[in-house]
C-alpha cells in the first residue's frame, strides 16, 4: 500500500472576502512520503493558495485534505502544523527581529501560550544556532533580518521552517529573486533535506530547468485546476511559460 503524506480530494477553496469565487476548483492529488514535487503555474494560478490550504490557512468550501492520513479539521490543525513546515512566498520573516529570533518563532506552534511567557529554553536556542550554522548564517544570528540580503533571509526562513523538524516541507518560491549562487545554495539545502533526511518536499518554482534538475514530479496548476501531474522530463516542451 502506498504511503501518502498529503492527499487532496476534490479540494475547493475560496478566500473569506470572496466566498463565491473559488480559487481552487476540484484539486485531486496524492503525494507519497519522500517525494520531491514541484508546483508550477502562471501568476495567480493558485499555487500559494494550494500550499496555504494544506496548513489550514485558507477556508475549504468543499473536499478534504489528509496529512499523514489525518483529516484536516480545526481539531487536528495544530498537530498537523507540527508535521508540516511552511516556507512562505517572500520569506515572511519579522524584519525587526534577529535571525535567531525569527528561527525560534518556528517553535511557537509547539508551545502552549503560557509556555511562551517563559521564553525559549536553552535547548531551542542551541537548535536554532545549529540550524543557522548549517545554513551558513551563524555569524548573522544576532543581526536583524531587515539587514540581511534576500538569499540570507531565505535561508533564515528555511531554518525557521526546519526548527520543528517537519516531515513535510512546503516551500513557496524559495528561490525567486535570488542570484545564481544563492539559488543553488537554497536548492542544494532542499535537496539534502530530501535525500539525506527523507523529507517530503513540495516547492513552488518558476524555472522548468531547475524543476527538472531537483524534482522527480511536477504538478502544474492553471486557474485553480491541475492540468499536469507527472514526471519533470519534457516539461519544457509541454509548457514553455509556467
The binding site for Mg ion (CB under 5 A) comprises 48, 89
State the SS3 of 55-111.
CCCCCEEEEEEEECCEECCCCCHHHHHHHEEEEECCECCCCCCEHHHHHHHCCHHHC
Closest approach of Cβ 65 to ligand ATP, in Å? Answer: 16
Binding site partner of 1, from ligand ATP, Mg ion, none, Cβ cut-off 5-8 A by kind: none
C-beta of 47 vs 160, nearer to ligand ATP: 47
Binding site partner of 200, from ligand ATP, Mg ion, none, Cβ cut-off 5-8 A by kind: none
User: What CA dihedral angle connects 183, 185, 186 and 190, to 10 degrees?
Assistant: 130
Binding site partner of 176, from Mg ion, ligand ATP, none, Cβ cut-off 5-8 A by kind: none
Binding site partner of 183, from ligand ATP, Mg ion, none, Cβ cut-off 5-8 A by kind: none
Instruction: Let me know if 229 is exposed, middle or buried by CB neighbors in 10 A (0-12, 13-18, 19+).
Output: middle
Burial 54-84 (b: 16+ CB within 10 A, else e): bbbebebeebebbbbeeebeeebeeebbebb
Q: Among 10, 68, 41, 38, which residue's Cα sits nearest to residue 242?
A: 41
Q: How many CB atoms lie within 10 A of CB 14?
A: 20
Closest approach of Cβ 242 to Mg ion, in Å? Answer: 12
Q: How many chain residues touch ligand ATP (CB under 6 A)? A: 13
Closest approach of Cβ 41 to ligand ATP, in Å? Answer: 5
DSSP state of 16: G
Site string for ligand ATP, 86-125 (x = CB under 6 A): ---x------------------------------------
Contact positions with ligand ATP (CB under 6 A) in 184-223:
none
Q: Nine-digit cell at 135? A: 545554513
Contact 83, 90 (CB under 8 A): no
Binding site partner of 49, from ligand ATP, Mg ion, none, Cβ cut-off 5-8 A by kind: ligand ATP
C-beta of 21 vs 75, nearer to ligand ATP: 21
Contact positions with ligand ATP (CB under 6 A) in 42-81:
43-49
C-beta of 166 vs 174, nearer to Mg ion: 174
Q: Residue numbers of the site for ligand ATP (CB under 6 A)? A: 15, 17-18, 23, 41, 43-49, 89
Amino acid at each position: 500500500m502506498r504511503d501518502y503524506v498529503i492527499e487532496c480530494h476534490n479540494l475547493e477553496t475560496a478566500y473569506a472576502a470572496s466566498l463565491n469565487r473559488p480559487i481552487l476548483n476540484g484539486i485531486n492529488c496524492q503525494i507519497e512520503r519522500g517525494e520531491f514535487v514541484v508546483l508550477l503555474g502562471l501568476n495567480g494560478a493558485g499555487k500559494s493558495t494550494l500550499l496555504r490550504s494544506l496548513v489550514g490557512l485558507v477556508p475549504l468550501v468543499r473536499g478534504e485534505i489528509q496529512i499523514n492520513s489525518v483529516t484536516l479539521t480545526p481539531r487536528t490543525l495544530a498537530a498537523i502544523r507540527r508535521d508540516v513546515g511552511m516556507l512562505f512566498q517572500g520569506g515572511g520573516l519579522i524584519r525587526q527581529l534577529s535571525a535567531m529570533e525569527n528561527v525560534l518563532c518556528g517553535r511557537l506552534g509547539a508551545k502552549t501560550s503560557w509556555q511562551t511567557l517563559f521564553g525559549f529554553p536553552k535547548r531551542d536556542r542551541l537548535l536554532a544556532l545549529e540550524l543557522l550554522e548549517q545554513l551558513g548564517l551563524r555569524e548573522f544570528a544576532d543581526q536583524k533580518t531587515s539587514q540581511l540580503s534576500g538569499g540570507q533571509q531565505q535561508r533564515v526562513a528555511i531554518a525557521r521552517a526546519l526548527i520543528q523538524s517537519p516531515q513535510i516541507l512546503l516551500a513557496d518560491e524559495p528561490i525567486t529573486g535570488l542570484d545564481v549562487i544563492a539559488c543553488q545554495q537554497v536548492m542544494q539545502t532542499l535537496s539534502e533535506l530530501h535525500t539525506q533526511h527523507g523529507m517530503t518536499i513540495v516547492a513552488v518554482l518558476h524555472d522548468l530547468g531547475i524543476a527538472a534538475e531537483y524534482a522527480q514530479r511536477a504538478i502544474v496548476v492553471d486557474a485553480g485546476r491541475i492540468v499536469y501531474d507527472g514526471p519533470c522530463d519534457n516539461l519544457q516542451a509541454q509548457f514553455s511559460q509556467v
